[in-house]
Structure 1
């Protein structure tokens, strides 16, 4: 499990969310990908969480060295590609850090 913690100023929240929406589907076909969630802060913090779950560390690293590397060339929370004038868009996030976890326990709802 990987959690990318993005520091996003209030005026950049909509930009960040639009950039993620425009990349919808970009990770779903990756080998070993299991889950994605973009979590918007609601408690007064400026930290967004990008949660992904992978079958293995190797699958995550393979994705990072391929499609993800191209997507992140614009910086933390940056867009992919270029905007008018051929310039990269300004990153929506001012900082990011990647947290890695292994699942030790999990639970699902009991079926009736």
Structure 2
């Protein structure tokens, strides 16, 4: 069973590019985590201000192991903090919620 975790992040209009840049700087950071199956950062194409971080996991235990890992804590610090500097003056997102789903149906598409 694949578990889907969605982090819905509300981002001010002038901060979306910075959010994408920060995610690009961490690309691949979770790829080797046991039970990790995939990741997408979804940018709104309408007037919404909520970006979606969609991850797929083998199970809840795999997701929780990552959330409680040093790699998670390291990856959620800013690039400046990871390099030994100060945290940014303000976070990119102003609100965030994590949603949890399991796949109940669908289609593989034609690719």
Paired residues of 1:2 and 1:99 also in contact (CA < 8 A):
yes
- The 1-side partners of 2:46 and 2:93 are apart by 18
Runs of 4+ that moved beyond 4 A: none
Greater relative contact order, per chain length (Cα 8 Å cut-off, separation 6+): 2
Gaps of 5+ in 1: none
* TM-align CA RMSD: 2.1
Q: Is the 8 A contact 2:74 2:82 kept in 1?
A: no
Number of residue pairs aligned between Structure 1 and Structure 2? 106
List aligned pairs for 1:64-103, cutoff 5 A: 64-66=67-69, 67-72=71-76, 74=77, 79-82=78-81, 86-89=85-88, 90-103=90-103
Pair 1:59–1:44, CA change in 2 (3 A): same
TM-score by length of 1: 0.85
Match of 1:9 in 2: 12
Instruction: Assess, with a 3 A threshold, how the Cα gap between structure 1 residues 85 and 63 changes in structure 2: closer, same or farther.
Output: closer
Deviation at 1:106, TM superposition (A): 2.4
Instruction: Give the TM-score taking structure 2 as reference length.
Output: 0.85
SS in structure 2 at match of 1:37: strand
Q: Which runs of 5+ in 2 are unaligned?
A: none
